[in-house]
Each structure stands twice: as C-alpha cells, then as structure tokens.
Amino acid sequence: VVKMVEESQGSKVPIQEFADKVTGIFVPVVIGAAFTTILLWIVFPDFFLSILTWGARYFPWIVTNQPPFIRAIYAGIAVLVISCPCALGLATPTALMVGTGIGAEKGVLIRNGEAIQTLKDAAWIVFDKTGTITKGRPEVTDVVPYGDFTLEETLSLAAAVEGSSEHPLGQAIVEAARQKGLSIKEAAKFTAAVGRGVSGQVNGRRILVGSRTFLAEGSIDYSPLDESMESLEDQGKTAMLIAVDGQLAGVIAVADTLKDESIRAISELKDMGLRTAMITGDNKRTARAIADQVGIDHVLAEVLPEGKVAEIQRLQEQGTVAMVGDGINDAPALKQANVGLAIGTGTDIAIEAADIILVRGDLGGVVTA
C-alpha cells in the first residue's frame, strides 16, 4: 500500500506535464530577463537613477543613494522574484502529494496520479453488479424441479457440476446442497462456457446448468419453465436452468443481497450530476430489478466479459467513463475505462488493473474519490 501511494505521488498528471513544458521555456526566459536588467542598470546607471529620482518625488520610500551595482542587483532580483513561475512549477506536484495522502487516509488508494485529474471530468460511472453493487455472497432461494426430477436430485446434480466452477453463483448452489446434507459427486469432463453456463458428466449422465441461451445451444426446450424463470427474475434473482441428458430437470434461483451503502452512494453520485450505469452478464430482468432498487439509470445486461470493453468504448463516445468493479472479468473493462476503480475486497487482477483502489470495499469510496 505504501509503495503504491509513493508511486502515485511521484507520477505526473497531464496538467503537471503541461506546467513542466511551460516552465521549461519560461524559466530560462525569466532568468535571461533578470540578467539583462542587471546589465542595463550597470551600463546605463545615470538613466535609471534619473527615473528613480523622479519616482522618489511621489514615493518617498524609494531609495536613490545606493551604489549603481547594488541598484542593478536589486532590479534584477525584483524581475526574477516577480516573474518566476514558482506557483506553476510547485503547486501541481504539491497538490498531487496532498491529494494522494488524504485519499489514503480515507481508504482511497490512488495508484495513478493522472486519475485525480481525469476522475473530476467523469460523465459516466459504470458499476459491475456482483460483488460491487451486491455483496457477492449469493444464496439459493428457490429450487423448482421439473418432470420426474425431485428437488433433492435437481440440486444434487447441479451442485456436482458447479463444484468445479469458481463462479460465486455456482458456489452458492454447492453450499445449498451441503446444507441439505446431499451427496455431491465429482463431475467428469467439466467445461465452462463463459457467461452462459457449465456442463459435465455425473455417473455417465450429461448435466447442463446455465442460461436460456446455454440450453438452447444444446437444443433443449426450456419453455415449460419460462414463466417460473420470469417470475424469479422479476424479484431480482438469478435463475439457472438444469438439464439432464437433454431433458429439462428444473430451475434454481440464486439471490445476492445489496451492499448496505449502495443505494445511498449511487444517489449521491447522481446528485453530483453523474450518469450511472450497471454492466453485468446476468439476464435483463434480474439486472433491471437490481438497477431499480439502487436507482441506476442505464442497464447493460447479458454482457459477456469480452463484451464489457466494447460497452465501455461505446459510453466513452458520450464522455469520460469511470468503471467500478471487483472481479477477474472486470479487469479488461477497468483498463479500458478512463479511470478504473477496484473494490479492495475483490480479486488481485482487478486491483492490479485499476487506477484507484477502494480499500474498504464499499461504494461510498467512489463518492469520496
């Protein structure tokens, strides 16, 4: 942490680079003007003495009895002190050091000094959903079996496949099966289709767990459960379909609770005149339900990890974009955004990709930044 703060304090913001260019030209000119002044006062002492004598009639504090060389030095120093761009050269790096220091005290680690200048111009604040707006600790809320499958069988088979997945939703299914004391077998031939679902074999049976698109790709008709899916999604839950050997087996709904400060932080950002957006791989109904709860204006749902970068680029056509995320799949978008803000409780790769780290892991840090 200390190393990151020091690196930030040593970095340059764009306005400082501009100041350095100006001072690089201006300082030599001022020094040249000061030496020229000294030289002129030495070469033409009588001329300048006559000006001083005239001025002393109106300004009694003007001293006229110094030696010509001393008068020349005073004149040169006056030009140097008044004209030298000290504020221009010193104020920006000083402000940068103070800003990063205060940020660190308030739990906002600024890794890149340029982010300080860029963030103030942000027009859009884009949030990831899971783990950023929500706590990232989802729980199974509903299991709806279909056909000849029982609730326990549906949950057990889904947990067997999800046991090889690292996704929080998959882990929630595994945890629910454990809490019910169900046997969780190890799945063979596990594969993950990014942003769509997972598959594997359990006791020789082919199990699919995922979205409508994922089952449609396997030529499985999910329409009998479509109404149940829509009802669960309207409640802000993420619904996942389960199929066994090409037959629909049921749907499992997982809900992730909002972070306590999400609604307040997003409200404050909107009061600051910023536009808010949420980007997620979740389905549109669930995403819209969560967005409505926290007051987010713009929803980008069913976006695959590689699609997040493209969505950020589209928003950048409308203004400066700051992205807030916590997961591995957020890292490219954090880099693409004009300013990336990582939740400090998130993954290492997201933290490494971001310009600003919110140590406490809450969205109030975005307002502070």
The HSE-up count of residue 11 (CA atoms within 13 Å, CB side) is 19
Angle at 65 between CA 62 and CA 66, to 5 degrees: 95
Q: Are strands 247-255 and 139-145 parallel, antiparallel or unpaired?
A: antiparallel
Residue 253 has φ and ψ, to the nearest 5°, of -105, 135
Active site residues: 128
Determine the Cα–Cα distance for residues 168 and 130; give it in Å rounded to an integer.
9
Q: In what order do the strands lie in the sheet with 197-202?
A: 139-145, 247-255, 238-244, 205-210, 197-202, 188-193
